[in-house]
Amino acid sequence: MMALSNVVNAYRKRPALLAFFCLGSALLLSACGQKNEPWRFSGPTMGTQYHVTVVPKESYSCSQAEFDEKIRQSLVQTNQQMSHYIENSELNGLSRLPVGESVTISSDMEKVLRLSERLYTLSNGAFDITVGPLVNLWGFGPKSSPEDAVPSDEQIHAAMALGGGDSLQVSSGKFSKSKAVELNLSAVAKGYGADKVAEALEACGAQDYLVEVGGELLLKGLSPRGSAWKIAIEKPGNSLAGQSMQRLLQVSDKGVATSGDYRNYFEKEGVRYSHTIDPRTGKPITHALASVTVLAPSSAEADAWATVITVVGPEEGMRLAEQEKLPVFMLVKTKSGFKESYSSAFATYVQ
């Protein structure tokens, strides 16, 4: 899921926020108009914004100001670990690590790398954190060629040769690689950041909260109204103005992410090129999936799975959703508009 930011995701840019906040970029439906004002925290992080809503209680071990500071500290730490823009980040250190050498990594990095490894395997390479050279080649990354330049097959094959998600090894807190690849965690870092903020909140006693980092959500307990959190799935369109709701969900104790590319593409000589790159082909996707919403136990998992399904498309994406028992909601482009499709596990969320 995506906030409107300047940071380019390693795979795609995402549609507008799934949850809409009263205080700014969106409307968080569950928290509007309640008598007891929730605590709200927001600010910049990871090239985007974060928003946190906490239902206040006297039993908390932290003051409102302490909550604010702990949220900020948590996000600073995650950014220092996962950013490919910060020169001395832990991630960039792994990218520079010589082939064959081993280095100790943080427990957070190990968790994210293991999740990435698992999804790389389950998706047959559709989720690949070494996809950066292809993203740059197509003009969507931090070291990009002109965005409207279509690379040759030779250039694509050369860029694909620079990647390789199967060249990474993680074992007992150690990392090594068998190939000189660069890592990019943009498809999972913001979701993991939301999970880490949640840990900080719970350390202070909070059990009812919503965390959003760059559009990735983690919802816990009850909203300020005493019911499940209500979030809206945006109806696809070409304009940020006049956004409308496709579905209203009631969600608690889940991570939520929406991914799609219907606003993000360029055209060259009458051909439309998506910003979503399939690492297996080295080219933009061509299927009809407009957006996908994924619910998972953590925000990091939802974030990563949304990427996987966006890359593989509606048919393979639904097969994976059923296989993994994931609640997944899709909007698929047709000649007459958008068709809804959802997995068996999502049926309980349909109102």
3-state SS of 150-180 is CCCHHHHHHHHHCCCHHHEEEECCEEEECCC
Phi and psi, residue 249, nearest 5°: -115, 150
The string of pLDDT tens digits covering residues 138-172 is: 887 666 555 567 889 999 999 999 999 999 999 99
Q: What is the pLDDT of residue 215?
A: 92
d(CA 308, CA 187): 9
d(CA 205, CA 178): 43
3-state helix, strand, coil in the chain (%, to 5): 30, 25, 45
Binding residues for Mg(2+): 187, 303, 307
* Share above pLDDT 70 across residues of the chain, in percent, rounded to a whole number: 81
The string of pLDDT tens digits covering residues 33-72 is: 455 699 999 999 999 999 999 999 999 999 999 999 999 9
- What is the token pair recorded at 31? 């928290």
**Residue pair 177/167 in contact by the 8 Å Cβ criterion:** yes
Binding residues: 187, 303, 307
The string of pLDDT tens digits covering residues 96-143 is: 999 999 999 999 999 999 999 999 999 999 999 999 899 888 887 666
In this structure, of 111-125, 189-203, 275-289, the range with the lowest mean pLDDT score is 275-289
Q: What is the pLDDT of residue 264?
A: 58
- Name all domains of the chain by residue range, CATH numbers in brackets: 37-84+186-216 (no CATH), 105-177 (1.10.3980.10), 228-350 (3.10.520.10)
Give Cα separations from 11 to 1, 127, 165, 228, 277 (angstroms): 12, 9, 14, 32, 6
> Is residue 57 left, alpha or beta, with left meaning phi > 0 and alpha meaning psi from -120 to 50?
beta
Residue in 279, 269, 259, 283 with CA at minimum distance from that of residue 331: 259
